[in-house]
């Protein structure tokens, strides 16, 4: 199924620092869309700075209009998109605040992000204030539940 060009939506939920739910479409025909923000990976909720990342995203987007530019669907069925809330590019804001890592495998179309991450890191912004910040992909790997256990 081809992805639409750009969607104007209302953000109705914030899951964490890089995932939100938006209500898109015409009145009476709304569709809820789970959106993963392109090119970034924010700390998990239970990880250091996870709640701060979520709160920062909520301050920018919750109950606000968002412009979504879908890129693809991820393995969890979420729409991966570039997201702007109130004219602010959300990935840029999260990285600049030190509340998300640049997710390099998917950041080739976002060349402005790595320099922002280097600046945030050099200034000790957000998660970069920690001695050894743990990337969310490493956190998820360490905290995966083994099969057969609940």
User: How many whole angstroms separate alpha carbon 52 and alpha carbon 105?
Assistant: 24
What is the residue-wise DSSP string for 13-65? EEEETTEEEEEESSTTS-EEEEEEETTEEPPPTTSTTHHHHHHHHHHHHTTSE
Residue from 23, 31, 73, 78 carrying the catalytic annotation: 78
Active site residue 78: yes
Residue from 31, 36, 45, 108 carrying the catalytic annotation: 36
Active site residue 140: no
Angle (CA) 43 15 58, round 5°? 90
Return the C-alpha torsion angle 4, 30, 68, 58, nearest 10: -160
Phi then psi for residue 82, to 5 deg, are: -80, 135
Which of 104, 133, 115 lies closest to 38 in space, CA to CA? 104
Residue from 44, 64, 72, 121 carrying the catalytic annotation: 44
Active site residue 36: yes
Active centre residues (catalytic):
36, 44, 78
């Amino acid at each position: 199924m081809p992805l639409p060009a750009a969607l104007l939506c209302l953000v109705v939920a914030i899951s964490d620092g890089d995932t939100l739910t938006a209500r898109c479409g015409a009145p009476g025909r709304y569709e809820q869309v789970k959106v993963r923000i392109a090119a970034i990976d924010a700390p998990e909720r239970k990880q250091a700075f996870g709640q701060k990342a979520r709160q920062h995203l909520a301050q920018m987007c919750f109950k606000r209009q968002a412009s979504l530019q879908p890129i693809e669907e991820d393995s969890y069925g979420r729409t991966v998109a570039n997201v702007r809330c109130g004219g602010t590019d959300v990935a840029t804001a999260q990285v600049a605040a030190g509340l998300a890592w640049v997710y390099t495998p998917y950041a080739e179309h976002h060349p402005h992000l790595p320099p922002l991450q280097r600046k945030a890191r050099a200034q000790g912004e957000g998660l970069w204030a920690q001695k050894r910040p743990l990337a969310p992909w490493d956190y998820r790997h360490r905290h995966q539940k083994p099969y057969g256990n609940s």
